[in-house]
Amino acid sequence: MSSLQWSRPTVIKPGVGKKKSFAASTKIPDQLVLLLNDAEVALRRGDTSGCWIGSVEFPVKGGPANLSVTVRGFTEQADGAQTTILIVIGAVFKSIAFEGARSGDFTETYDASISGESKQTITIIMLAERPGGAADDLLLQVDSLDIVVKV
C-alpha cells in the first residue's frame, strides 16, 4: 500500500440551486413532477472537478407514503471521468454513479418513502471528476424527478 500526502486545498465553489431552479407540478394527487432548470455540472478547459447542490421543501398532506422515483437526465463524459448524483427524499438516500466513457440520456427508477411530517425536503447533489489534462468537456445534468405514490 502506498502512502498519501495531502497538500493545501483549493476550495471549489459549487453551483447552487436557487428557487427558480425548481419548477414543480403538484396538481395531480399522489404525484409530483419536479423539473430542474440549470441543474448541471460542466467541466471545461482545465476543470477537474465540480458540483451542483440544490434543496427544496414541500408541504405534504397524507403521509407516510411509499414512493416510486424516476430520475431523468443527461451525461457526456470521456474515459477516466466519474460522475455521481446523490438524491435524498425524506430520509431515503439514493446514489446514481457513472464511471468511464458515457454519452446520452439516462433514466433511473427507485423506491423511496416519506414519513408523516407535514414538510418534506428533496435534496440533489451532483458531483463530477475527470483526470487533469483531459481534453474533452464533461457535462452532467438532472432534468426531472417524477415522484408517484405506490399503491
Q: What is the pLDDT of residue 1?
A: 67
Residues of the chain with pLDDT under 50: none
- Let me know if residue 20 belongs to a domain: yes
CATH number of residue 130's parent domain:
2.60.120
Question: How many domains are contained in the chain?
Answer: 1
Q: What is the pLDDT of residue 45?
A: 87
| Assigned C-alpha cell, 116 | 408523516
For 60, the domain range is 15-149
- Let me know if residue 7 belongs to a domain: no
Q: What is the pLDDT of residue 46?
A: 85
pLDDT, mean over the chain: 93
